[in-house]
Structure formats: structure tokens, C-alpha cells
Amino acid sequence: MTLQDLYRSRLANADDAIAFIRSDMDVAMGMAVAEPPALLAALARKVESAHIENLRLWYFHSLDAAGKTVLRPELLDRVRPHCMFLSHVERTLIREWPKGRTPGPIEFVPVAFSASVALLTRRLALDACITTVSPMDRHGYFTFGTSNDYTSSAARSAQRLIVEVNPNMPRVFGDSLLHVSEVDAIIENTVPLPEVTGGQPSSEELTIAEIIAGMIDDRACLQMGVGTLPTAVCNQLENRRDLGIHTELMTPAMARLVQCGAVTNQAKTTYRGRSVFTFAMGDAPFYAFIDDNPAFHSLPVNLVNDPRHIAKNDNVVSVNGTLQIDLGGACNSEHLLGRQYSGSGGQLDFVRGASASRGGKSIIACQSTACDGTVSRIVPMLDGPVTTPRNDTHIVVTEHGWADLRGKSVHQRADALIGLAHPKFRDELANSLR
């Protein structure tokens, strides 16, 4: 049997490909851009038409493909989303869920991004994995495209793997190959990939970005989080030389640093010459740029986000945002207004990896206020869980400056952080210490 014969033998329509799914199964889906829209629509149809109960769906970071299909409110008494990182989809479901109705719409599962592989492959017996892949090459290989993360591992541990082949999914280099012989069913679906673009940074974020950019020297190895602030930082780094990238999320702003020559990856210890990532989100030109581009190297998240592996590179600079910082330096980056807002993701992974890197800097950044300046983000006590413990917090930046918390006592930390707060909240914060 030729590779093309093997491909054709596993080709199916979406409804037939997921026909085996029944009640009480555990199904992992590709995250973000790799959500398979046709398979998710077929799964939603099956849930609607068949007697399916307690279908457990495991994933990080959903987008609209899931929100319009399997995560519709009317299906959530039968589909139980086991979400490890909330996006706007889950936040909307939680906000609009009828008060007092139990269970809630989402089963939030706290887990570090780096630990998601172990959770899905060792602690669970996945019945299926569904994801979008790039087209098969002449040697019989697909790639996981924008989403290596936990998906490449879950795909191989699940009892069945169903892939949605989309010609618009970029073919990526690295440990991302998937042979046709490993796949149980294939569907084809040519649709544009979801485009995830940020808004414009605020004036405070531009000030913060300028402060952070001043801390990034030539030959630094970058990890940037999501949002307008990391983009603003990257926009100020185009005159740097021999920067490197080792990041969980690859973005258009980071790719532009490769395009302009600021990133060469020549100073890195691991994967020299290549920008390492585990998942990617952006726009169509960005997907085209990383397609078949050997400058980008995709790896599973349990390797990319392993602090020990991160720290093998010198001068790692990790930039992440937070929602609140207490006066001891502990950070809540995932809980807002009494509700889960996102998840821990890989923040602590990179905080620890950068801190252990020779010459490394872990930077936590946020505007000093929220809610149009009426609420201080620097607080006496956090309102939610600790995402980054005070023992790990290194450098904190707001629009009012920056502070290195390493080696400082709790009183010195409080003084430094009060100095980063908005002036109208400083007296109140100081009084809270008395």
C-alpha cells in the first residue's frame, strides 16, 4: 500500500470520523488555532442527536470554533469542558450562566502548562484526540502546525486520533511530525485559520514597554506573554543584535524581530539558530511566514516550558503580565472579580526558568491601576490564587518604574512596591502595613 493509498483508506467525512464517540469518554482537542472546526461541529451534532452524557472535553485556550459548537450553553449539561486556561469563550459562559444553576458551565482544572502533558498522557486514559494538522507531505508526514503544546503527546497517547487537514495550517519544523500511519481517521477542511490580533497599547503600557526594553541587551533570549504590552516591548527591540527566542507562544511581534534581523538565535545554548516555541497565534501573514520556515522550531510544552531546559540558555528575559501584586510580591495572574479569568499557563515555568538562567531576568509587568484608575493592582492581599509566589518574583514593572525584589525583606519589598503603585493609592497601601 502506498502512502497515498493509506491516506485515502483513512479519509472520511466528519460525522463518520467521530461516530465512535459515546458517553463517559475523555476527548482532548487541539487548542487555539488548532481547534478542528469541522470535527467540533460534527461532535456537537452527535451530542444533539444521540444520547450522550458526561462527555469530558480536555483543552487549553479555546477560540470561536469551540464556542460556536461543543461549548454552546445548551450542550453543557452533556459536554463537560475540562478547561485548563480560560479564554473569552469560557468567561462569557461563566458570566451569562444562570445564577444558582448547578453545575457551572466549566470544570476548571488548575495545572501548569508544562504539566499538561503528564496530566493528559499519564493520569488520564484519553479515548480520543482531535486536532487540525498541516497537509501530508510526499513522505507521509503531517505536522501539528501552530499547536505542538500538549497536543502532540495527547495525540499519541489517545486510543484514537482523528485529524482535520487544513491547507492553511502552516507546516512547521521541529518535533512536530505526525506520520499517516499514526492516524485513525482523516477529514479535509479548507477554511481560513483563526486570526488573533491585539488592540493598541495604552499610554501606560507604552511607558512600561520602554522601561522593559531598556533592560533587554543584545544576545538576550526572549520569552513574551500574550497581549498588547509584550507586542509593545518587541516593537522597541528592532535595533538589538543577536537576540534569541525560547517562548511558549510565538506571535507576529516576535516573528518581526526575526524578519528584521534582530533575532538570530546565535547566542543560544539550545537549538542555536532557531526560534523555539510550543504554540503560535497571529494573523495570516504571520502563518505564511512560519510556514516551512526552518528558523522556527516547534517542540512539546513539557520541554519548552521546563524551567531546567529554559535555564540552559544564558540571559533569558521572561516578560509576563499579572492582574494583582501583593505587598510581598506574590502575583495573582488568573483570577478577577471573584471569578477565574484565565489560568496559570506557563507563567511560573518561565519565571523560574529565567531566574535560574545565568544573567536571566524574570519580569512581571502591569499597569498600576484597573477599572479606569479606580482600583489599585498593587494590594495588601491578593483577591485570588497565587500564580507566582513571592519567593519567585524577581523584577516588577509598572508605569511608575521598576523594582528588583531579590534579596529584599518583606518590609523593603512593600516599600518598593508602594513606590510602583499609583500615587493616589500609596498612602492607603502604607497604612495597611500598620
Active site residues: 248
Give the count of beta carbons closer than 10 Å to the beta carbon of residue 301: 27
Q: Residue 258: which residues within 8 A CB-CB, separation 6 or more?
A: 245, 275, 295, 296
Q: Is the backbone peptide bond immediately before 103 cis, with ω within 30 degrees of 0?
A: yes
Residue 54, all three cell numbers: 458526561
Which three-class secondary structure string do you get for the chain? CCHHHHHHHCECCHHHHCCCCCCCCEEEECCHHHCCHHHHHHHHHHHHHCCCCCEEEEECCCCHHHHCCCCCHHHCCCEEEEECCCCHHHHHHHHHCCCCCCCCCCEECCCCHHHHHHHHHHHCCCCEEEEEECCCCCCCEEECCCECCCHHHHHHHCCEEEEEECCCCCCCEECCEEEHHHCCEEEECCCCCCCCCCCCCCHHHHHHHHHHHCCCCCCCEEEECCCHHHHHHHHCCCCCCCEEEECCEECHHHHHHHHCCCECCCCCCCCCCCEEECEECCCHHHHHHHCCCCCEEECCHHHHCCHHHHCCCCCEEEEEECCEEECCCCEECCEECCEECCCCCCHHHHHHHHHHCCCCEEEEECCCEECCCCEECEECCCCCCCCECCCCCCEEEECCEEEECCCCCHHHHHHHHHCCCCHHHHHHHHHHCC
Residue 402, all three cell numbers: 521598576
